[in-house]
Structure 1
Amino acid sequence: MRRFLNRLLPKSWRSSVITIPVIRLQGAIMSGGSQLRPALSLASTAGLIEKAFAFEAPAVAISINSPGGSPVQSRLIYKRIRDLAVEKNKRVLVFVEDVAASGGYMIAVAGDEIIADPSSIVGSIGVVSASFGFPELMKKIGVERRVHTAGNNKSVLDPFKPEKKEDIERLKALQLEVHETFIDLVKERRGARLKDDPDLFTGLFWTGKKGLELGLVDALGDMRGVIKSRYGAKTQLKLVAAPRGFLGRFGLFGSNAGGPAADIAAAAAGGLADVAEERALWGRYGL
């Protein structure tokens, strides 16, 4: 409403204060998720991204804190950001919090500039696959597993069976294809800013300070400081957030919920495998 009224005023009377929309992308990247344990995916972020790019602002700021996850969802989020940046002719500034690694870094390269804290973790440009199974536990509690398939390869990499050499070779071939797609995307976006370092695409990760030397990030700093220095001291930051549900309004559940109790509730809602996968992703970076 205020923006509409501002348009009705003569140009000399209009407010000159710039408002920069901010999106926070936090968590493991995977399809699905729930209100108790939200996950980063195109479905969960598309509305926020669209809303941020609808602002009358010269740029969109994105705060990212993610250890990675699904390559597909990572690329879908990346592409939605880039498509809207081109369509709306807006600059995208990405600010790294604790981690922007693996799929998290894939999303980060959607930015025209990547700014990190000196102690942030960036990089890990690689692909990993893991499966979780509980065969011993199932045996102890007397559960018998039965699988009937039509097709010789429908039970490839079954975690309840011994590994086969040919299955592992096929998995690695698939990983290499996904890895090449990741590398090409990073090279396309970062271009000459990337240093010629043999470890750059091996899956290693670095601090923001080292990432600056390697060309993985463009500058060191924090969102408020960088944006105000760029667009003026009076510039305002406007967080674009999803509407809170009925329970969230009363503080029963929400994006800030955490700790063991939240983990137990999420495990019951989403399954132990999802929790284990997310913990493994964060644990790789000491978090």
Structure 2
Amino acid sequence: MKLDWKPVKTKDTPLPDPSHPEWERALINRLVLEYLADQRRRQRWSLILKLGVLLYLIGLLIVASLPAVTDLTKINEEHTALIEVNGILAPEADASAERIIAALRAAFENKHVKGIILAINSPGGSPVQAGMIYDEIKRLKEKYQKDKGRDLPVYAVAIDLCASGGYYVAAAADAIYVNPASLVGSIGVRLSSFGFQKAMEELGIERRLLTAGTNKGILDPFSPLPEPQRAFLQRVLERLHQQFIAAVKAGRGERLKGGDELFSGLFWSGDQAVELGLADGLGSASQVAREQIGAEKIVEYSKKRDLLDALTRRFGAMMTLGFIEALGLGGEGLARY
């Protein structure tokens, strides 16, 4: 039989007459072609949408990674320099000594700065980081006095939390101002770890730890902690504690009124801290700038990481932490203010 229609190859190919014996096959052919064409359209639009979202995110990342546009050297009017001490004091954190000290130096070098405010919202952290910031504040103030013949005041303003290492930093300031509800103090040192020895014995797990050095395995969570090692660790903590106390006494002097309880690790509300001499008064950063420094204009000097650097460092830190924990070398055994 001679066909009077052509096989359906495109949706534009005409269908045969419904009375034709091949009409049903041609109709199915047409439906399949239209379905495939619709799927291709959907895939194209999906690809375009995904590409658009990707380009948008890349654009946001590039914009966020650009350095701050404020050039501190071009500010030619008197102002108050604001430096944030936000979060845990640690080498790779936003509140690292490196970043805080860089901001402090920039503020002390700007001749238009009338005073500096440390806006502290920190639970503490590394004793080394806290000590470095404290020492640098003292050094910069002494150098400024020697070079300029006058003092550049440094004030600490507690936000939510000014505790432990955060208070260590604040103690270097000329005066400390708090909110009535701020938590202030916690002058002490802590070192924490875990002991899994008995759990391992019950599970029948044998710990195989090889060391060169009698005390090299100290604070290993899967080994017992002998009394001589415990006593040694306590002496280390006491020494760090005395360093902390000495710094606070040097910074606060005769203003302290609470006796030895101030150095017990307790913390107090902001209004209590004022009564105990841990703080000098109630006030916010804007109040201190206006009433104490006399320069209401506030310029932020904090050295912040750009988004790309922050994401890269955070990913690296997560990978490192996971590796350390996998080896059973977690950072719980580090002394912290």
Fold shared per TM-score above 0.5: yes
Is the Cα–Cα contact under 8 Å of residues 18 and 231 in structure 1 kept in the other structure?
Answer: no
Which amino acid letter does the alignment assign opposite residue 130 of structure 2? S
Q: 1:58 to 1:86 in 2, by over 3 A?
A: farther
In the alignment, which residue of structure 2 is the partner of 1:18? Answer: 78
In the alignment, which residue of structure 2 is the partner of 1:91? Answer: 153
In the TM superposition, what is the alpha-carbon distance from 1:126 to its structure 2 partner?
0.8
Instruction: Return the alpha-carbon distance in structure 2 between the equivalents of residues 149 and 165 of structure 1.
Output: 19
Residue 316 of structure 2 is aligned to residue 271 of structure 1:
no
2:303 to 237, 242, 256: 242
Q: 1:49 to 1:132 in 2, by over 3 A?
A: farther
1:189-224 deviation digits (Å, cap 9, x = unpaired):
111100043411111110111000000000111010
Instruction: Return the alpha-carbon distance in structure 1 between the equivalents of residues 271 and 250 of structure 2.
Output: 22
Range 110-119 or range 58-67, more displaced: 58-67
Which amino acid letter does the alignment assign opposite residue 218 of structure 1? D
Instruction: Return the alpha-carbon distance in structure 2 between the equivalents of residues 221 and 5 of structure 1.
Output: 26
Which amino acid letter does the alignment assign opposite residue 271 of structure 1? L
Residue 134 of structure 2 is aligned to residue 78 of structure 1:
yes
Q: Name the SS for the 2:254 alignment partner.
A: helix
Range 206-215 or range 72-81, more displaced: 72-81
Higher helix share: 2
Instruction: Return the alpha-carbon distance in structure 2 between the equivalents of residues 116 and 82 of structure 1.
Output: 21
- Contiguous gaps of at least 5 residues in structure 1: 7-16, 255-261, 283-287
Please show how residues 164-183 of structure 1 align to structure 2 within 5 Å.
164-183=226-245
Q: Name the SS for the 2:261 alignment partner.
A: coil
In the TM superposition, what is the alpha-carbon distance from 1:135 to its structure 2 partner?
8.4
In the alignment, which residue of structure 2 is the partner of 1:216? Answer: 278
In the alignment, which residue of structure 2 is the partner of 1:125? Answer: 187
1:27 to 68, 77, 87: 87
Over aligned residue pairs, what C-alpha RMSD do you find? 3.4
Q: 1:186 to 1:146 in 2, by over 3 A?
A: same
Is the Cα–Cα contact under 8 Å of residues 21 and 55 in structure 1 kept in the other structure?
Answer: no
In the alignment, which residue of structure 2 is the partner of 1:14? Answer: none
Q: Name the SS for the 1:200 alignment partner.
A: helix
Which amino acid letter does the alignment assign opposite residue 78 of structure 1? Y
Which amino acid letter does the alignment assign opposite residue 205 of structure 1? F
In the alignment, which residue of structure 1 is the partner of 2:13? Answer: none
Residue 258 of structure 2 is aligned to residue 193 of structure 1:
no
In the TM superposition, what is the alpha-carbon distance from 1:44 to its structure 2 partner?
3.4
Percent identity of the aligned residues?
A: 35
In the alignment, which residue of structure 2 is the partner of 1:60? Answer: 116
Range 98-107 or range 155-164, more displaced: 155-164
Is the Cα–Cα contact under 8 Å of residues 94 and 305 in structure 2 kept in the other structure?
Answer: no
1:161 to 219, 223, 229: 223
Q: Name the SS for the 1:21 alignment partner.
A: strand
Q: 1:231 to 1:175 in 2, by over 3 A?
A: closer
Q: 1:268 to 1:19 in 2, by over 3 A?
A: same
Instruction: Return the alpha-carbon distance in structure 2 between the equivalents of residues 159 and 134 of structure 1.
Output: 6
2:106 to 31, 36, 51: 51
- Contiguous gaps of at least 5 residues in structure 2: 1-70, 146-151
Which amino acid letter does the alignment assign opposite residue 88 of structure 1? Y
Rg larger in structure: 2
Is the Cα–Cα contact under 8 Å of residues 266 and 275 in structure 1 kept in the other structure?
Answer: no
1:29-80 deviation digits (Å, cap 9, x = unpaired):
223x3xxxx2533233322221122122231111111111111221111111
Q: Name the SS for the 1:105 alignment partner.
A: helix
Instruction: Return the alpha-carbon distance in structure 1 between the equivalents of residues 262 and 141 of structure 2.
Output: 27
Q: 1:122 to 1:2 in 2, by over 3 A?
A: closer
Range 112-121 or range 239-248, more displaced: 239-248
Residue 178 of structure 2 is aligned to residue 116 of structure 1:
yes
